Structure 1
């Protein structure tokens, strides 16, 4: 196809003289419309040799970038998308190191370098941390485009000053530059570039212009023969064709997509037929639509008219679709990758044929305990999928839980979700905003704290409590308690009553999960779910009657034995 971005790629990687290969690399070229809207992405990572888990870090860094970059909103710029993905990955790697038994030694953690290249339209975008290099070949010379983040303490000794996974906060280098046909980029780890001179690389590329894979292998072998003791990885990218941009074909900048108007039933909109409005709030307009290309029902969400000038709101709005694309779980709402170009700013997710948990509770006001457990366990599976990706939902409530016609429970609406590493890097979002619904929001949010997975667990426990009793554990007092002292005065209302057969140990389970202090709640969702199904040992020991009531004969025999021993000891003395 004319006027389309085309590249040739050659790559090669080898463990070299080491026992294993801690390097990782890859690239992804999507089909249209993502080829135009997102471009082609390349990534290379190098794990640190002192760590036994750095190969996991490098593989995760590359795969996460190539997967998650193409899940980001088409309304985000390349820089915005890449920054969000890489900072989220950095946060995940850093958290893995913190949880590891060697977390006090950064040289043994989940640490790696990362260099990424995105080629979109007629521009190349570079993102870099560490000492994996990106070069550009022009005028018969190699220009190093990246800076090595390495601190030399002597002529022979150095260490990485910046890399993925070292710190919670990430300082990422980025660069953009125009492209022309024939440009060649080279990405290489230090095992290659420290042992092969620039002229050898240039000569090899001139000798093998039609076989970049073979050229990459020749360069790798040269590094090995020159005594490289490290892993060896190289990628060669040549720009073969660029989109032709003229006055009638200028590619529309997606970060300037217009907002859609209020949509009406039977209206044709961007390849969809609007069937009806599902819901309208101050935050968004939600429609049921028919995708004319696939003939399937989908949900379209358009930004609120009143909030379209609010950058923080738009950030959260666009984040929803990215989160839904990243998570793979039957219990989390799905959002597919776009199959055609969008002309307006909106999001598309799957249509769940069913009802919200709030609606279900109207139809089933007194569900039995086993039904409650079944629903809550499915919600927990969705939460675990989010938490594994370092995502907090932060607005878990019956309105944001769907039950489809098969009984499958799904978490929906990620407008308040928090992705680790992303919020910290986004100045437009106030971290102290309370985005959830007060009755289901964990107490720590009202203290201005950032929240944790235990905060989502609290919300899940409130839903459980409400399903059983139709009440709330602290009535409306949590939102009014904005100091630690006030939260200490909160009094838990027992879920037990004379009209329902609820075991006392279930009430104890809820009481612990709903403790105002997050550190006194359950540490994990699995513990909470386990205790919802059977009495906790601590509860059994607490409620076990004294031995005198259970077996008075044994009790008095024990007392007599103890007294006899005391008397014998006194007589001997």
Structure 2
């Protein structure tokens, strides 16, 4: 599988130093991790600094836990997750562990409390996470900017305390901000043993030395800052880190295109041909965008599906990039209700990828064969679909093309979601690319209004798609009399008339139709919050759903309804005043 575009070309010069200073023990902790290969692109480079709170008595253990565990756990999160989600999940778990450890020693007054500041460099963006009074600065040209704010509450000129820190409370409130990164930017992280005893002017003077390209030993600069703080009577631990951005991933379209076209498109594959050890048995599906073949591995005898790109897009970098990303995203969704991408170490002669072969029919075919099926059978299949979609959402990935044609049912009735061609992975979207991608590529008849009108997609958009699918499964017909395909404006959507599913299929319970009706609402915020809530309402009848027609104006356009009511009341008031 080709992952060339996930290899980052970011380069950094770094240095760090930490000493106890005049204190008997160093309760600060520091760490920098710059991985190689795809990990640098998908997760980024990280610098983190933590200052254990002395009054908590277990400050050293707390700060070391924050740094060491974060640098390990962050890189263990799914690479489809965004930086913010990955970091938030790790910090929440770390904070609860620290807080729990502190509770064990509550009688002895011992706690695990530490400040925490880190910066994650991913592609052309830096994301800062901060709690406490350690700091992060950025020097760009001649401008030094403090990127964090101290979470310190002052009682007097001589007395203060930390209002927020890791392990201080069961609930963690972390500052988070993202900013663009430019080549030659210099970032500086420090604990209060340094920045409380050095004015910004002095810090800037030293950091300007780091802007000299020939200077690569930043540990000497860190030591210089420590020495200056000590000469100003710093009595605390002293720690700092300096990072210079030497190179960022290329944004040149020609360079990217050249790499994308390293593997040629395969020709049309006839039955009986062998490609890289895979014998073509037959063509399963063909469209203007791709071909799908049933193949047999000549070495093992295993049968797979081979997906190849269409030669119609041989000179389209955006299409090629998306095709390559299909297999990358699919290989990261591990669920029995999602088609499995087959990893192979066999060298490829052209562009394609393999998936497991499902011997069965599409859900679209099943619907045609079962126009009014038993409701329990529908819910049994739909629950499997929900489980598959949930696997995408847990990896912060949207499928974006959920429809009966993209769901397979094998001979045992097991459902599997197929086709990753329209997927959106938030972690991948954070990686800068000079190639402009198409908008959302889903099918209009199964897409939520906000997706069609503004190219915005969310979990609630997928709730809408699932509502369309379930309506079809229940009735054998499309909702809104099949007019979703033709809607291209807000007015067109609001004019749609919903026909309750139980009117088409009397076997549908009114509460099941109520859940479908909610999933198909125009406004995303009025739908189910997530797909699990949708499934719950299908499995646990909600008494609030009454057997009423959802085509009433109050549900299709509540604003217009209240405008009409207000107008009527105003007219009545005017009449009463006239005849008074």
Q: Smaller-chain TM-score range?
A: 0.5 to 0.7
1:354 aligns with 2:360: yes
Matches within 5 A, 1:32-181: 45-47=46-48, 49=50, 58-59=71-72, 61-64=74-77, 68=79, 89-90=82-83, 92-93=85-86, 112-114=118-120, 129=126, 150=138, 158-159=146-147, 166-167=176-177, 171=180
Secondary structure of the equivalent of 1:312? helix
Match of 2:446? 440
Deviation at 1:89, TM superposition (A): 2.8
Instruction: Give the whole-Å Cα distance in 2 for the aligned partners of 1:26 and 1:283.
Output: 38
Q: Deviations over 1:392-432 (max 9, x none)?
A: 1111111101122333211110111122264574454455x
User: TM-score under structure 1 normalisation?
Assistant: 0.59
Give the counterpart of 1:305 among 304, 308, 311.
Answer: 311
Instruction: Give the whole-Å Cα distance in 2 for the aligned partners of 1:498 and 1:479.
Output: 20
Preserved contact between residue 43 and residue 115 of structure 1 (Cα < 8 Å): yes
Deviation at 1:159, TM superposition (A): 3.7
Structure 1 pair 41–453 and aligned structure 2 pair: CA distance change class (3 A) = closer
Give the counterpart of 1:533 among 536, 539, 563.
Answer: 539
Give the counterpart of 1:400 among 406, 409, 414.
Answer: 406
Secondary structure of the equivalent of 1:286? strand
Q: Deviations over 1:301-333 (max 9, x none)?
A: 111122222222222222210111111211112
User: TM-score under structure 2 normalisation?
Assistant: 0.59
Secondary structure of the equivalent of 2:497? coil
Unaligned runs of 5+ in 1: 1-12, 69-84, 103-107, 117-125, 132-147, 176-187, 203-225, 235-251, 544-573
Matches within 5 A, 1:535-550: 535-539=541-545
Deviation at 1:166, TM superposition (A): 4.1
Structure 1 pair 540–158 and aligned structure 2 pair: CA distance change class (3 A) = same
Q: Deviations over 1:545-568 (max 9, x none)?
A: xxxxxxxxxxxxxxxxxxxxxxxx
Instruction: Give the whole-Å Cα distance in 2 for the aligned partners of 1:537 and 1:394.
Output: 32
Secondary structure of the equivalent of 1:416? coil
1:496 aligns with 2:502: yes
Give the counterpart of 1:486 among 487, 492, 495.
Answer: 492
Instruction: Give the whole-Å Cα distance in 2 for the aligned partners of 1:229 and 1:293.
Output: 62
Instruction: Give the whole-Å Cα distance in 2 for the aligned partners of 1:14 and 1:271.
Output: 56
Instruction: Give the whole-Å Cα distance in 2 for the aligned partners of 1:338 and 1:372.
Output: 36
Structure 1 pair 498–274 and aligned structure 2 pair: CA distance change class (3 A) = closer
Instruction: Give the whole-Å Cα distance in 2 for the aligned partners of 1:109 and 1:405.
Output: 56
Q: Deviations over 1:104-123 (max 9, x none)?
A: xxxx999843469xxxxxxx
Match of 1:391? 397
Secondary structure of the equivalent of 1:496? helix
Residue correspondences, number: 414
Deviation at 1:260, TM superposition (A): 0.7
Match of 1:509? 515
Give the counterpart of 2:377 among 359, 371, 374.
Answer: 371
Secondary structure of the equivalent of 2:501? coil
Match of 1:325? 331
Instruction: Give the whole-Å Cα distance in 2 for the aligned partners of 1:385 and 1:320.
Output: 16
Structure 1 pair 255–156 and aligned structure 2 pair: CA distance change class (3 A) = closer
Structure 1 pair 484–340 and aligned structure 2 pair: CA distance change class (3 A) = same
Instruction: Give the whole-Å Cα distance in 1 for the aligned partners of 2:462 and 2:372.
Output: 24
Give the counterpart of 2:461 among 455, 458, 483.
Answer: 455
Q: Deviations over 1:221-261 (max 9, x none)?
A: xxxxx9965699x9xxxxxxxxxxxxxxxxx9674111110
Unaligned runs of 5+ in 2: 1-16, 53-61, 96-113, 129-135, 150-173, 195-214, 221-234, 244-257, 550-580
Preserved contact between residue 82 and residue 396 of structure 2 (Cα < 8 Å): no
